[in-house]
């Protein structure tokens, strides 16, 4: 399974094939072709057929958001995920993970990203996170607010975001992916939302428009100041050869060195 940590996931509707190539060239770390919310019921079968045809000549592999397990389109969507060109699977309304989907992901060694969008999904998040082929959890903030009856995306969801970060860490998963910012033309709002997610321990965000991708990538990338600090820490640690050191009047121990090394790995991306 791919171990690279993506920071930006860009949605593109599966019924708009003319947008597929543009999404692939957007600079997003991952592209999600959406068979679920973005596609009206009357167009879902045709969208799946169109996507299957495009995958054979796609410029890059893409993730597919399939329809939920309790829908009539789920089985056909799962079968599509066997095709070359599918990089991973996004499971919406995840409250458990069906065996058929697990079998397909295992067969093709595909990462599975369950969307936590309901109260029951949140309650079962630890069990879901422990599932085979699960790479990271995704927080479907908008649907979650509706399901639970919460009004607000800020402090109102602080507990739930923090819990998903903790659950992911305990399960040994990549840090979770935060939900979308619906403001397409408000870069300040997107910046604030993304930086909040980063501070809480998320390391990626869903995007609904190509214009959101560059800012999300910048937010999750280390700043120049962070990289310079990390380089100084790592250099000092190497020179100390295991001895205790101080830098800028602060003690540098193993957790600090690990943080510096993580920053430098991220910068090299």
pTM, full prediction:
0.90
pLDDT the model gives residue 65: 98
- 83 and 105 in contact (C-beta within 8 Å)? no
Does domain 8-220 match CATH 3.20.20.60? yes
Buried b (16+ CB within 10 A) or exposed e, 48-63: bebbeebbeebeebbb
The pLDDT tens digits along the chain (269 residues) read 445 789 999 999 999 999 999 999 999 999 999 999 999 999 999 999 999 999 999 999 999 999 999 999 999 999 999 999 999 999 999 999 999 999 999 999 999 999 999 999 999 999 999 999 999 999 999 999 999 999 999 999 999 999 999 999 999 999 999 999 999 999 999 999 999 999 999 999 999 999 999 999 999 988 888 889 889 889 888 888 777 788 888 888 888 888 888 888 888 76
- Rounded to whole angstroms, the Cα distance separating 254 from 73 reads 50
Query: Judging by beta carbons within 10 Å of its beta carbon (0-12, 13-18, 19+), is residue 84 exposed, middle or buried?
Result: exposed
Q: How confident is the model at residue 188, as a pLDDT? A: 97
Alpha helices in the chain (DSSP H): 20-24, 44-55, 74-80, 99-108, 119-123, 125-129, 141-148, 158-171, 187-200, 213-220, 224-240, 254-268
What's phi and psi for 172, nearest 5 deg? 75, 25
Query: Residue 54's pLDDT is what?
Result: 97
How much is the pLDDT for 3? Answer: 58
| Separation of CA 55 from chain center | 21
Strand partners, 15: none
Domain with CATH 3.20.20.60 in the chain: 8-220
What DSSP state is assigned to residue 18? G
Could you tell me which of 34, 30, 41 has the C-alpha nearest to residue 17? 34
- Residue 4: exposure state from Cβ atoms within 10 A (0-12, 13-18, ≥19): exposed
pLDDT at position 2: 47
Predicted confidence at residue 269, as pLDDT, reads 67
């Amino acid at each position: 399974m791919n171990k690279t940590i993506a920071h930006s996931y860009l949605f593109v509707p599966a019924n708009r094939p003319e947008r597929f190539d543009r999404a692939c060239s957007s600079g997003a770390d991952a592209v999600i072709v959406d068979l679920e919310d973005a596609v009206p019921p009357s167009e879902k079968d045709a969208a799946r057929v169109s996507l299957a045809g495009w995958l054979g000549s796609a410029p890059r592999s893409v993730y597919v958001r399939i329809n939920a397990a309790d829908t009539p389109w789920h089985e056909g969507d799962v079968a599509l995920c066997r095709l070359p060109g599918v990089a991973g699977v996004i499971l919406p309304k995840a409250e458990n993970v069906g065996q058929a989907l697990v079998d397909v992901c295992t067969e093709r060694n595909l990462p599975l990203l369950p969307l936590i969008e309901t109260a029951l999904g949140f309650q079962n998040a630890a069990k879901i996170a422990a599932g085979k082929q699960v790479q990271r959890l995704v927080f479907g903030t908008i649907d979650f607010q509706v399901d639970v009856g919460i009004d607000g995306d800020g402090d109102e969801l602080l507990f739930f975001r923090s819990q998903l970060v903790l659950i992911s860490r305990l399960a040994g998963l990549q840090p979770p992916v935060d939900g979308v910012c619906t403001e397409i033309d408000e870069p300040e709002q997107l910046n604030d939302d993304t930086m909040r997610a980063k501070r809480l321990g998320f390391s990626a965000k869903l995007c609904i428009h190509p214009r959101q991708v560059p800012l999300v990538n910048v937010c999750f990338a280390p700043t120049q100041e962070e990289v310079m600090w990390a380089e100084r820490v790592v250099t000092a640690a190497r020179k100390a050869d295991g001895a205790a050191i101080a830098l800028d009047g602060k003690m540098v121990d193993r957790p600090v060195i690990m943080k510096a090394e993580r920053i430098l790995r991220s910068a090299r991306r």
